[in-house]
Amino acid sequence: MKGLLVKDGFVFDPMNNVAGEKMDIAICNGKIVEKIDNCGVIDASGMTVMPGGVDLHSHIAGSKVNSGRLLRPEDHYKDVERKTPVTRSGVGYSIPSTFTTGYRYARMGWTTVMDPAMAPLKAKHTHEELNDTPILDKGSYPLLGSNWFVLEHLRAKEYKDAAAYVAWIMRATKGYAIKLVNPGGLEAWGFGRNVRDIDDPVPNFDITPREIIQGLCKVNQLLSMPHTIHVHTNNLGKPGNYTATLETMKSVENLANNGKPNIHLTHCQFSAFAGEDWRSFRSGSEEIAKYVNDHTHVTLDLGQIVFTNTTTMTADGPFQFILYQMTGNKWVNNDVEIETSSGIVPFQYKRKNYVHAIQWTIGLELALQIRDPWKVFITTDHPNAGPFTAYPRIVAWLMSRKARDEIMKKINKKARARALLPSIDREYTLDEIAIATRAGQAKILGLENKGHLGMGADADIAIYNINPEKKDLASNPKAIRRAFSNAAYTIKAGEIVVKDGEITKSVVGRTYWTNVKASPSLLEIEPELQEVFEEYYTVKFDNYIVPNHHLSAANPITVEGRV
């Protein structure tokens, strides 16, 4: 029996309605327990205790991420990590090597991270990298919004067949949730084209993005998936796209069950652009926030911009091609048969650039205008809007008007004059930060043992050097940033892995995947599937499947499908 007691900290556990109360947290065998005696004690007095951070959207592993690493040696030269007796070495600012990724998240007090885009054909690659990402618990979402099997079943309105296929894909790729990127558009990109809006039919497939979104939303419900559908909208990154975003949210409004969320819009900042072109470009955050405030079926994450040199990488091939055209930077495109595309372009976000400055305000405006913190989560869509190591800065911006004003002073003048942001006074509380960076994300992911510190929860804990009684945090954003950059302690599954911002121990994290239990007739599709499969793919059916033992610590989440 391994025990640990975190004593006298100010605990923020929003799921259990604990907001800064001074209390002890007892840990036994990697879980939170009622009480524990005769064990190690961490004196957390004067410090903030939260569940370990959860990130539902961060590109940390797999084929596309690795192509980004390959593409950018200049990203690595100046940012290196030496080998220590407990850690492996590594490099990388915006696309760190795998070991470094795990350590850097842990240093900030984050313990669960989801990679949001895996091409099923390359699932094995994603898992091999996740295996090499220490400390973190993790998972990955297979890309399904332009998948031929999905498009064909949905076109024929065969929702059960689509569901059976999706259940199979989760098992075959050890995937966690249904991901849609520019639904239908990536198939069109196979011939260098795109779809214009959510009602523009996909070439050769006679189905619209709207039908794909609705269809997969139904499938998600049929399978009782732990997470909602996870959507990167059509037209992402284009002026005026906020209307498509509203259409996307509305398209599944009637499919919602008892007011429960049924769609997650990811890195919404990139999908909240108003204006007709780059000159008339402005924020569409008000319209989006209004819709989200008035409805219960949507959650979103920010994709908050930070002003830095980073690497954009998405499955959205046509969007990446536009970025390449705009910047003239180096460009990787990689289309994957039957399933998806992807692209990579290095990118510099500049304060003095009008568009970038507006983008910076859009993310914060979304976070500050959406009233319920359970609906909007902090991400940078790592590394698209900036590396995940910028989270402490974003936390400081949300908690401190002063911090925002300091940046405001330095951005493009026209952007400053037009932006809504300066008119917003709201400042997040530590409790709201705990929701937006852990509790809310764990909840929408359906990870029952994460994001809280109640009995039976996983003992993943972050302790920050913040005394909420003493400091007026809003007037001291630097202190916030410092505390969240270097956790006083990070505890993963009951073990101390970080002390004073340094890794003290490296442990193996688990990989979650969704194992759908449903009626046998639904799940016995393999022979039929196999026949079509071998016509479609250049690999054999058997060789496509990722066996459970390929994951160094597989953790299937079993759900009961309703078909």
Partner 1 sequence: MNVIRNVTCPICGTLCDDLEVTVKDNVIVDAANTCAISDAKFMNYSNPKHRNLTPLVRKNGELRETSLEEAIKKSAEILVDASYPILYGWSCTSCEAISAGVELAEEIGGVIDNTSTVCHGPSILSIQNVGIPTSTLGQIRHRADLIIYWASDPYSAHPRHMERYTAFSNGRFQKSEWAHYVARLRGILGKKRLSRASELVLMKEAELPVVSGGKLPPKFETDKRKLIVVDVRKTRSAELADFFIQVEPNKDFELIQALRLLVRDEEVETDQVAGVPVSLLEDVADTMIGCDFGVLFFGVGLTMSSGKLQNIDAAIALTRDLNYRTKFVIMPMRGHFNVAGANIVSTWQTGYPFAVDFSQGYPRYNPGETSAVDILSRDEADASLIVASDPVSNFPRRAVENLVKNPLIAIDPVVSPTTAMADVVLPSAFVGIEEGGTAYRMDRVPLPMKKLVDPPQNCLSDREILQRILHHVKRLRAQRGIA
Residues forming the site for partner 1 (CB under 8 A): 61, 63, 66-67, 69-73, 76, 80-83, 85, 88-92, 95-99, 121-122, 124-125, 128-129, 132, 190-192, 204, 321, 324, 330-338, 344-345, 536-543
Q: Which two tokens stand for residue 328?
A: 């003239």
- Binding track over 325-364 against Zn ion, x by CB under 5 A: ----------------------------------------
**Residue 542 binds: one of Zn ion, partner 1, none (C-beta under 5 to 8 A by kind):** partner 1
Identify which range of 68-76, 328-336, 357-365, 374-382 contacts Zn ion by CB under 5 A: 374-382
Q: How far is the CB of 184 from Zn ion (least distance, A)?
A: 18
The candidate with the shortest Cα–Cα distance to 173, out of 544, 467, 503, 502, is: 544
Give ∠ CA 502-507-512 in degrees, rounded to 5. Answer: 120
Shorter beta-carbon distance to partner 1: residue 278 or 536: 536
Q: Which residue has the tokens 């500049």?
A: 350
Q: Which is nearer to partner 1, 332 or 419 (CB)?
A: 332
Region of 344 on the Ramachandran plot (φ > 0 left; ψ -120 to 50 alpha; else beta): beta
Least distance (Å) between residue 86 CB and partner 1: 11
Pick between residue 77 and residue 278 the one whose CB is nearest to partner 1.
77
Near Zn ion in 252-281, by CB under 5 A = none
User: Considering beta carbons, is residue 196 or 402 the nearer one to partner 1?
Assistant: 196
- Which residue in the set 75, 381, 458, 460 belongs to the binding site for Zn ion (CB under 5 A)? 381
Contacts 24+ apart (CB under 8 A), 68-73: 68/94, 68/95, 68/311, 68/313, 68/332, 68/344, 68/383, 69/95, 69/97, 71/311, 71/330, 71/332, 71/344, 71/346, 72/311, 72/346
* Beta strand ranges found along 500-549 (DSSP E): 502-503, 511-517
Q: How far is the CB of 253 from partner 1 (least distance, A)?
A: 35
328: partner contacted, choices Zn ion, partner 1, none (Cβ within 5-8 A by kind): none
CB of 196 to partner 1, least distance (A): 18
Cβ 384 to Zn ion shortest distance, Å = 6
Looking from the CA of 513 toward its CB, the CA atoms found within 13 Å total 28
122 is in the binding site of which of Zn ion, partner 1, none (Cβ under 5 to 8 A by kind)? partner 1
Chain residue whose CB lies nearest Zn ion: 381
Kind of pairing, strands 18-28 and 3-13?
antiparallel
Distance CA 149, CA 383 (A): 30
Closer residue to Zn ion, CB minimum distance, 244 or 403: 244
| Residue 556 interacts with, from partner 1, Zn ion, none (CB under 5-8 Å by kind) | none
- Identify residues 400-419 at the interface with Zn ion (CB under 5 A): none
What is the C-alpha R_g of the chain?
A: 22
507, 495 in Cβ contact below 8 A?
yes
- Tell me if 324 sits within 8 A of 331, measured CB to CB: yes
Q: Could you tell which of partner 1, Zn ion, none binds residue 90, using a CB distance below 5 to 8 A set by kind?
A: partner 1
Beta carbon nearer to Zn ion, 75 or 381: 381
- The distance of closest approach from Cβ of residue 85 to partner 1 in the complex, given in angstroms and rounded to an integer, is 6
The helix or strand, by DSSP H or E, that contains position 185, with its residue range, turns out to be helix 185-189
Counting Cα atoms < 13 Å in the Cβ hemisphere of 318 gives 22
Q: Which is nearer to partner 1, 50 or 135 (CB)?
A: 135
* Structure tokens that stand for 137 in this block: 């618990």
* Nearest to Zn ion of 365, 381 (CB atom): 381
Q: What is the dihedral of CA 19, 24, 30, 36, to 10 degrees?
A: -150
Question: Which of partner 1, Zn ion, none binds 163 (CB below 5-8 Å, type-dependent)?
Answer: none
Residue 381 interacts with, from partner 1, Zn ion, none (CB under 5-8 Å by kind): Zn ion
Cβ closest to partner 1, residue 336 vs residue 480: 336
Taken in order 326, 332, 337, 339, the sign of the CA dihedral is negative
The count of chain residues that interact with Zn ion, using the rule CB under 5 A, is: 1
Tally of CA atoms within 13 A in the half-sphere of 292 that contains its CB:
30
Q: Which is nearer to Zn ion, 238 or 550 (CB)?
A: 238
Looking at the DSSP bridge assignments, the partners of residue 28 are 3, 31
Residues in contact with Zn ion by CB under 5 A are 381
